[in-house]
Structure 1
């Protein structure tokens, strides 16, 4: 039985503020420098496609690391893994600040990906603390709280770039990382009360997860939903700067739309997931995101080459993802509750790895001649695939006899192939 949380008391489970900060530091690290990408290409005298690797290689690194961070936390505990990850992240951020070449910067970005531990372990900690249906609601509130960071991050990054240069973005990220480290040290009590006997045991458990149909459904839903978002992160700055002619600070301001949509979607997930159910919320969220992309493509085809034709409909992608991802992630870690850390890591690796691939595809296909269409079509296809994956979860849940409105805590261990 978990003790009640007391803020800044490491002898109790963490306060929700700590979970928000754990997830938020990675979100800030991901997007604060995005408005600077075209300027960084000029600074290092290299192609935009090479500088964009600071996004896609970072995503690839987070995908790989999640395969290990989840099992490590199941074996050694959430607290020591989170603290070690933050120390490594701070060292990598300093590498980025002082990088003399694009190659050193890319190395620093890959090393920075260890901060994904905050997102992986916040989900696992939530599942340690509460049941499945409540986990979806709590994850929704955690991600809603952390959304303030990506709402402000690109805007802040654009202003910092204009005033001090792109390096200032990494300096601010370092300072925020130090704050998070202090809070985690003081507040993150250990929540893993059933640590595995060995690290290898967790990897031997992966086949059990991979045999679960619902795990695949939830993981693919999260992969395709986030794929649209990561495609936007990789290609959005190029479209804004090179197609629409926007300055870095203007790009930062307009990132507000997708973050605002995500926050509202998170609020709805936190408020209604426990009533409507995980699966219906995922279907609705992916459908809304797909509709946003249809709207944007229609506006550009009609000749409206205006920032709002791009960033306005992006609001619906954020809104849909905000509804989808808390429910999909809650499903991922609840199919096998005793493997919550491993499930979070494996599901996260699939989600981020797929996003990295889509980000590279979307960015590599963009040019002044193509306009925004390769990016928008990639995002539309990804969102539609998310709808299909969500419907598969509904199908698999019905076949397994698991409630569609709220997963039963006992159900995941009942049917091996569910």
Structure 2
């Protein structure tokens, strides 16, 4: 019998607020940490000794966060139920020497991060957000949440072939945004401007990790407001749902036979190979230290990992009404049809039959429908943190997510019900 649903359309309202407040991975983890703190979790430093007390804890590292809740009575070999997600999205990121320009225009030099749909960045009002590093090594978040930058498209009168041959963009020449007028490029202008925005002393910033983003807020769409349009759904939608599920389970007081975990990594969009990516040591280190802090041994760690399960939650492709032939003919996930189970026999997704059973049981418990996704055989399949997690840690992993349109666009589209359906399924999974 399914349990009463914990989340409804109010969850989707909250998702929209979370998306708007999280223009960079650093903002996303800060907002996640704030929600965890309100739920009674406490931050632990990687440089400190850890204790084995019960309760909610989390670790921050750059644009990544790992949070877990140790129930009372948990043993050293108690296994983990893990929700995996990622905080980064394709974007235009600021180069080390950002100040540039030509022909009377002042521009910002940017580099392409991940695999964005480049045309979706044209003629958008863009803000600028990220992390500033100060001389003492500390960090300050910055967010210029107003129209500051724009990548202007070439007028059709100067590109007559665009209608017949399609838009062709050179990543180096055609994606540099303008932000003002001036005949002379002045090194240091952008960082001096951001120091003022962040109320910092002039010359105090020595490093930066900055990215552009569209300032248009998320919005309901359609006659009956059945859809949501917004930025960075890939994959802050899953980070938000995982945070909601973890805090709900921690607050429920229900007996738990698994330790629920949320792991939200950075750098998924460019291969996950970093100290904050899924292919780095962060998750394994946190889980192992949790075992050892409860008095465990290597044997306890091995037992815990062998019985653990991870749901790798990321967005997937809903059937596109204008390109249905690009999808597998027998697998057409629909928006508002519930979360999707992602399968690829060449292991681009980590799901197998036993993993399907785990997710099906969670959805049945939550009273949530789910769908299956598999790629058209003639098209290469994308991948996720799922296979990386399974291979690196030896933990059974299942790839799931929410079906969307316009993936990797500056503005993506999902069903208004799917975010809370996912959160309810993740909650049931974490409950064990």
What TM-score comes out, normalization by structure 1 length?
0.25
The structure having more radius of gyration, on CA atoms, is 2
- Bigger helix share: 1
What TM-score comes out, normalization by structure 2 length?
0.24
- Bigger strand share: 2
